[in-house]
Amino acid sequence: MNPIVLENINHFYDGRQALRDLSVSFAENQCTAILGKSGSGKSTLLQVINGLVKPASGSVTLFGDSYQEDKANVLRQKLGYVIQGNGLFPHLTVEQNISISARIIGYNKAKTAAQVNKLMTLVDLPLSYKGKYPYELSGGEQQRVGLCRALFLDPPVLLMDEPLSALDSVTRLEIQQEIIKLQREAPRTILFVTHDMREAKKLADRILVIDRGSIEQYGAAETVLQHPATAVVKQLFEASLA
């Protein structure tokens, strides 16, 4: 069973169609890069999957359940979400940011502390940083904290909306390696939006290309990269690698 299935999704922003009769499914434990020009609908797609945006029409199925209001909170616990700029709360410490969802699931202090320690170790964050605040961290360290927070409940799905775009090239490569390590040690379904073709090639099993809210091409990463199906896909790849 595919953990994420979208059927005939339509959505509008201020009269403009952001997603256009979009149907797609994502396989278990596969990493999919979502590519497209600015405004093509990439971020909206993740927001629809995460329940942050309710589509005008169509259906979203997560792990066999329809995304309905009475099930939304339970289903969201199966989704980790990492956004551009990390989205950390500036008034909370690293430990508090990472464990903010502990109350939702009812973790006690010991279990919460153990999970924080495990995740920080996994992404090479010193445990001595637990009492620091976001402003005391580098951009790469903040992004690692955001990744830990998204993984706190050990979700089977991880959604990432251009999480590395604001980082310098060295830090970006380091966190790409962290993502590869995480996927190797604990495979999960990952969807990540990126403008970076090299990043997609390095991380993704599959590539989804969107243009004006519609799917231009979707398939195995190697196939999509070597055989662009449309002029739009070819132009996007050429522009990204220029």
Q: Residue 130: which pLDDT band, with cuts at 50, 70 and 90? A: very high
CATH class of 32-39+46-241: alpha beta
Given a cut of 70, whether residue 69 has pLDDT beyond it is no
Helix ranges, the chain (H): 42-49, 72-76, 94-98, 102-105, 109-122, 139-151, 169-185, 197-203, 221-226, 231-241
pLDDT at 195: 85
Q: Residue 19: which pLDDT band, with cuts at 50, 70 and 90? A: very high
pLDDT at 137: 95
pLDDT per residue over 131-174, tens digit each?
A: 999 999 998 899 899 999 999 999 999 999 988 877 788 888 88
Percent of the chain with pLDDT over 70: 96
pLDDT at 170: 86
Q: Residue 92: which pLDDT band, with cuts at 50, 70 and 90? A: very high
The Cα–Cα gap between 131 and 186 comes to: 27
Place of tokens 């995304």: 67
Write the CB contacts of 238 (distance below 8 Å, at least 6 apart in sequence): none
Q: What's this model's pTM, rounded to 2 decimal places?
A: 0.91
